A and B are shown apart, each in its own frame.
Chain A
Amino acid sequence: MNAPESMVTPAMLSKSAPVINPPLWLLAELTYRCPLHCAFCYNPIDFASHKDELSTTDWLRVLREGRAMGAVQCGFSGGEPLLRDDLEILVTEARQLGYYTNLITSGVGLTEERAAQLKAAGLDHIQLSFQDSTREINDFITHTKTFGLKQAVARVVKSNGWPMVINVVIHRLNIEHIGRIIEMAAELDAEYLELANTQYYSWAHLNRDQLLPTQEQLIRAEQETNRWREKLGDKMRIFFVSPDYHEAKPKKCMNGWGNVFLTITPDGTALPCHTALMLPGLAFPNVRDLGLKEIWFDSEGFNHYRGTGWMKEPCSSCEDKEKDLGGCRCQAYLLTQLHDVADPVCPKSPYHHLVQKIVAGADMRAASGANAAAPWGSEQDVHPLIFRGPKESLSLVGKGKKA
């Protein structure tokens, strides 16, 4: 579900403070429940302790308030949004309000019948996540047997006439299959394919050492992608989202804090970005207590990192500060335990060596012939892949992990 950030068109970009624009995107994370167990899952590590999901009535109110503020894109995600029985009710309302409605799903649970109901509800588009072109890696990385099912679901999407975006999170275990992944998406008739290099938050951060590809793998993957772009022409548009660590270029995270995206978590917490909950000391309001308008314009959580006023050196005097707004706050925090410093992927950051060390580590492991399926012999710090699941979540929370 990394798509929205990268697929924002230039027309959506707007200047940072002082003017606060209304949100253009409402992202409704309907539930953290999910039948899959992706080792790169972006849900918070402590997801299993957030049980209190918003009711249908609450969501309907959130949809109305968001639309009244001017939001036009509405994404239903999770977890797996199909696990909510009221999904059709919410899509119907969203569509009638005039949102362009996007369903972001693993496809598990999208039966012919459910698809027909969503079509009738007016759903505009489905983004389907795929994990690999091979059954082996798909089933391994999701810790389920879902490969065959996903192919069938892709056909259901197409037969209902929906435009289809296929999203594949790229990491060390599937990066060598990138050509085959592109071919598969083209065979399934996707309009857009998003090859999103893993962002290292939450579960992916736990598993970073096994998932991080080498610089050389990335270069080859991008070359292969370009070859396919030429071959396929405009039949399918391919987005290659390059990874922050290797690129050494901070990104304007979420298109600016509190600028375009408004995310609502399953229990109603309103966030400028779905991982922002990890940042300690920031209070994010809940839609059960406050209206969306006050949340967006007035709350401390949304205003804290808006614009450039919060910056310290090297960002505050940097000529690029409007361009990337200092990069990602969550990345800064995960790597340095400080969330108001420059994103360490930036070469100007005094912590940049941490990122360089991590990337070098991936190269070293590759050189020693290690891979995740057969964890590398003597290295003490590398654990086996941790698959996302309620049991793992609760046990990690017990050990004091939150992000």
Chain B
Amino acid sequence: MNDANPNLSGCPRVNDGFRLQWEPAQDCHVLLYPEGMVKLNLSAGEILKRCDGKRSVADIVVELEQAFLTTGLLDETLAFLHLARQNKWVTWS
């Protein structure tokens, strides 16, 4: 599954060595990794925090759409996960 494109049934999770956490001082989610960090914007944080290796991409999209009372988040989610995988932030279980 590792090298496949993100698809709806795959279950992404935050990769080993990376840690996602909420930082009150920065008022955002950050992704921490060896000697560095990325500040995440709202949607990136909301997606990543659901990447637990149990929820599928489809589950995540449904949850996000419910949480933000909207529809049509699939493309944005897939695009972000694609980027996240390229950066090794996530892997697929």
* Binary contact readout B9-32 vs A (1 if CB under 8 angstroms, 0 otherwise): 000000011010101111000101
Residues of A contacting B67 with CB < 8 Å? none
List 5 other contacts, CB 8 Å, given A8-B36, A72-B30, A125-B17. A11-B37, A70-B23, A102-B34, A124-B34, A125-B35
Q: Quick check: A69 and B17 within 8 Å, CB to CB?
A: no
In the bound complex, what is the Cα–Cα distance between A69 and B32 (angstroms)? 17
* Binary contact readout A136-178 vs B (1 if CB under 8 angstroms, 0 otherwise): 0000000000000000000000000111010000000000000
Q: Counting CB contacts under 8 A, is B88 at the interface?
A: yes
Q: Counting CB contacts under 8 A, is B33 at the interface?
A: yes
Q: Counting CB contacts under 8 A, is A280 at the interface?
A: no
Q: Which residue of A lies closest to B30 (CB)?
A: A72
Q: Counting CB contacts under 8 A, is A378 at the interface?
A: no
Residues of A contacting B25 with CB < 8 Å? 22, 69-70
Q: Which residue of B lies closest to A10 (CB)?
A: B38
Q: Quick check: A75 and B35 within 8 Å, CB to CB?
A: yes
Given A72-B23, A98-B21, check contact A3 B35 (CB 8 Å).
yes
Residues of A contacting B26 with CB < 8 Å? 70
Q: Counting CB contacts under 8 A, is A373 at the interface?
A: no
Q: Quick check: B36 and A127 within 8 Å, CB to CB?
A: no
Q: Quick check: A100 and B32 within 8 Å, CB to CB?
A: yes
Q: Counting CB contacts under 8 A, is A105 at the interface?
A: no
Q: Counting CB contacts under 8 A, is A380 at the interface?
A: no
Q: Quick check: B37 and A9 within 8 Å, CB to CB?
A: yes
Q: Which residue of B lies closest to A3 (CB)?
A: B35
Given A161-B16, A191-B17, A234-B88, check contact A127 B35 (CB 8 Å).
yes
Q: Quick check: A7 and B35 within 8 Å, CB to CB?
A: yes
Residues of B contacting A24 with CB < 8 Å? 37
Q: Which residue of B lies closest to A4 (CB)?
A: B35
Q: Counting CB contacts under 8 A, is B39 at the interface?
A: yes
CB distance from B88 to the nearest CB of A (A): 7
A contacts, CB < 8 Å to B: 3-4, 7-9, 11-12, 22, 24, 69-70, 72-73, 75, 98, 100, 102, 124-125, 127, 161-163, 165, 191-192, 234
Most buried by A among B16, B19, B33: B33
In the bound complex, what is the Cα–Cα distance between A37 and B71 (angstroms)? 62
Most buried by B among A8, A69, A125, A234: A125
Residues of A contacting B24 with CB < 8 Å? 70
Q: Quick check: B39 and A163 within 8 Å, CB to CB?
A: no
Q: Quick check: B38 and A9 within 8 Å, CB to CB?
A: yes
In the bound complex, what is the Cα–Cα distance between A191 and B19 (angstroms)? 16
Among all A-B residue pairs, the 8 with the closest Cβ atoms: A70-B25, A163-B17, A100-B32, A125-B34, A7-B35, A11-B38, A11-B39, A9-B36
Residues of A contacting B38 with CB < 8 Å? 9, 11
CB distance from B83 to the nearest CB of A (A): 13
Q: Pick 30 A–B contacts, CB within 8 A, sort by A.
A: A3-B35, A4-B35, A7-B34, A9-B37, A11-B39, A12-B36, A12-B39, A69-B25, A70-B24, A72-B23, A72-B32, A72-B37, A73-B37, A75-B35, A98-B21, A100-B37, A102-B34, A102-B35, A124-B17, A124-B19, A124-B32, A124-B34, A125-B33, A125-B34, A125-B35, A163-B16, A163-B17, A165-B35, A191-B17, A192-B34
